[in-house]
Structure 1
């Protein structure tokens, strides 16, 4: 069995430093989560230690993505320079380990035209898609200024992964405050807020008609769909009001791929399979923020009947979506 993990994070120290140097109203408080336990040590390594960790988990191939918040909080010039730097570093890691690593591009979303150009450059370097967030400063991902980016992604068959993002400072103060600082942060991030932000970004793209304009565009959501798949009875009511060609749930089934993000809960799996299809499910561990051991992974995989559904989840769907030739990987090892 081949195992491809598609939401596996790394860190560029100079980018983290640039984000930490921003004023509070523009920075991203979630960067402190990178420093918990041994996260930072694991994030900073995209070489031999990472490969050894993959071996321990039984993961054959990781798709690298920068840990949040990417370059989204930065001014355009800094975002352009550090996105290019991050992509060059990731490309070199893939070059050194061609049978074990692939990468998602980092894009300078503060400059939409440059973001489209960087996606095209990264695709030429062998990247398999891009990871973005639902908001850049105050601009949502569905803003018309990003339409060129989505057109480019569709034309190049580069899927866009929408990763969770900390809510805006205003929303955090109004909704996620009132406890001790660490509880406030946890509530606004991995405990709840992150996932609402990602689900809302995807829902807004649907309601904006993005997939009617770009029928070849494919998205990825982590954490079993970031709560979006659990509320389709209500979100479908938006379709007529927004003048969409289809129900919201139809767009979800045909344009959004769902990954596990290390949440190996059979109840979540069963629900997701009620809403979407087995060829939309992708394996991931959310490394290093989740660290499932090989036994945890193998136990969860028994929830799939042996055969096609399990093979799709572990590698087949990722191979098809990201253009990874699984057979050739095995031949090169």
Structure 2
């Protein structure tokens, strides 16, 4: 095993001025809580830069390559026509960034899920013409879940292409935020509903819905990636298996689908405890790396964390890049 392996980070974000304008033009009831960190302050500034400053941050953390993607909330709260108009432009820009620095960047496509047929066609273009590696998506399109039959064309296209879908958190619906995360004061309400815990429950539920609705039974080749060490699901798997598998009429226990159809990343949460738990729960071959740039400042070099949490050099290399590179070989171009 080589002493030095590549580190490829998969949840590394960017934004375009046109997307920011579309988000701001939405009525307040449709705006995602991610609008502020994705457009303002230091994170908003860094998201718009795909150049030397980003590469310097990568070098400081020991990250060889970022897989770029449009940041939250993506295009999923937009009107269908607006989302379709933006998806091609964003993907062309992502492809340009990769062509400019192919040694440092890869990319996930952005998809207009409010128009599922158009999103499926764009995924095919992004993979086969632009050379992108799947797509970054979000669980709900306004109030519709990804397991809704309306989104079957997109999921079927991803499965047929062998292109992974990275399922990213988004803010819970307004009614859920009011019922479960409200009443503590605006700053704390927002934090509780997003990076505190709400994002992760929301994304974990979307992943669980994909499984229990039978999506992976219908599309066994579909591969999904989730961050934040499995969006809380891994830590409740025994009970989920016991209480949901039979009721859902699944062919296998819920946990089996995590080991065959789901990859997990840390999203910048460099916890040795969580890494060891994830290895024990779903296996080293199902773990990829992600830093969640620019939202999570890394406390030290990635390889130091991997050595501490996964002492075997082969395991460090697998998480660092080998598992991702193996997944890419499944994409049919």
TM-score (norm 2): 0.94
What's 2:298 paired with? 292
Q: Deviations over 1:135-179 (max 9, x none)?
A: 101110000111121111111110011100100111111111112
CA-CA distance at 1:321 after TM superposition: 1.3
Query: Deviations for 1:30-53, whole angstroms, at most 9, x for unmatched residues?
Result: 211235652122110112221222
RMSD of aligned residue pairs (Cα, Å): 1.4
Give the whole-Å Cα distance in 2 for the aligned partners of 1:148 and 1:37: 38
Contact 2:68–2:106 (CA<8 Å) still a contact in 1? yes
> 1-side partners of 2:301 and 2:166: how far apart?
28
Q: Distance in 2 between matches of 1:159 and 1:173?
A: 33
Task: Work out which of the residue numbers 217, 225, 245 in structure 2 matches 1:212.
Answer: 217
Take 2:305 and 2:136, find their aligned partners in 1: how far apart are those partners?
A: 29
Q: Secondary structure at the match of 2:136?
A: strand
Q: Please, which of 146, 162, 165 is the counterpart of residue 141 of structure 1?
A: 146
Distance 1:296 1:315 in 2: 12
Matched with 1:130 is: 135
Q: Distance in 1 between matches of 2:230 and 2:194?
A: 16
Contact 2:120 2:157 in 1 (8 A): yes
Stretches of structure 1 lacking an aligned partner (at least 5 in a row): 325-333
Contact 1:8 1:286 in 2 (8 A): yes
**CA separation of 1:291 and 1:231: change in aligned 2, threshold 3 A:** same
Deviates more, 1:32-41 or 1:129-138: 32-41
- Matches for 1:299-318 after TM superposition, within 5 Å: 299-318=305-324
1:268 aligns with 2:274: yes
For 1:275 and 1:92, locate their aligned partners in 2 and report how far apart those are by CA, in whole Å.
Answer: 38
- Cα displacement (A) at 1:294: 3.9
| 1:252 and 2:258 correspond | yes
Question: Which structure 2 residues correspond to residues 50-61 of structure 1 after superposition, within 5 A?
Answer: 50-61=54-65
> Does the CA-based 8 Å contact 2:109-2:135 persist in structure 1?
yes
Match of 2:328 in 1: 322
Judge conservation of contact 1:63–1:102 (CA < 8 Å) in 2: yes
Q: Structure 1-normalised TM-score?
A: 0.94
Paired position in structure 1 for 2:78: 74
Q: Which residue pairs with 2:96 in the alignment?
A: 92
Contact 1:176 1:187 in 2 (8 A): yes
Partner of 1:220, secondary structure, is strand
Structure 2 residue 185 is matched with structure 1 residue 195: no
Compare 223-232 and 298-307 and name the one that shifted more: 298-307
For 2:113, the equivalent position in structure 1 comes to 109
In structure 2, C-alpha distance between the alignment counterparts of 1:286 and 1:297, rounded to whole Å: 16
Please list the CA deviations of residues 64-102 of structure 1 after superposition, one character each: whole Å capped at 9, or x if unmatched. Answer: 011100000100000001111111110100010111101
Task: Give the 5 Å matches for 1:229-240.
Answer: 229-236=234-241, 237-240=243-246
- For 1:153 and 1:141, how far apart are their aligned partners in 2? 13
Structure 2 equivalent of residue 330 of structure 1: none
- Tell me how many residue pairs correspond in the alignment: 324
8 Å CA contact 1:128–1:323 kept in 2: the answer is no
Displacement of 1:296 = 6.1
Tell whether the 8 Å contact from 2:62 to 2:302 is kept in structure 1 after alignment: no
Equivalent position SS for 2:9: strand
Which one of the candidate residues 241, 262, 284 is aligned to 1:278? 284
Task: Using the TM superposition, name which of 248-257 and 229-238 deviates more.
Answer: 229-238
Instruction: Return closer, same or farther for 1:296/1:281 CA change in 2, 3 Å cut-off.
Output: closer
